[in-house]
Amino acid sequence: MIQVTRKDSKESLENLLRRFNRKVQQSGAIAVVKSKQYFEKPLSKRERRSKAIIRQERRALKVKRTKLGQR
């Protein structure tokens, strides 16, 4: 649970909200909630690794194409 209190009575609500949002972002709570939003079938370690390798290769190919000026 993330709690943020006012530093002093003069602190504006905008500053308080900005500090709260920063703490939530840094804690990674939003990423966890988004990852658990939908059910995913459990994958084996081998499948996760192979899919990660494929993603990396595709991303590298995309970057290479953009550097060469192709789509």
Instruction: Return the pLDDT at 18.
Output: 92
> How far, rounded to the nearest angstrom, does the alpha carbon of residue 2 sit from its chain's CA centroid?
18
- Give pLDDT tens digits along the chain (71 positions): 888 888 888 889 899 999 999 999 999 989 889 988 988 788 888 998 999 999 999 999 999 999 999 87
Cβ atoms of 2 and 29 within 8 Å: the answer is yes
User: Taking the model in full, what pTM does it have?
Assistant: 0.50
- Residue 58's pLDDT is 97
pLDDT at 36: 87
**How far is Cα of residue 49 from the mean position of the Cα atoms in its chain?**
19
The reported pLDDT for the residue numbered 19 is 92
Per DSSP, the residues of 19-56 read HHHHHHHHHTHHHHHHHTSS--PPPPHHHHHHHHHHHH
Greatest CA separation found in the chain?
A: 57
Q: Would you state the pLDDT for residue 43?
A: 84
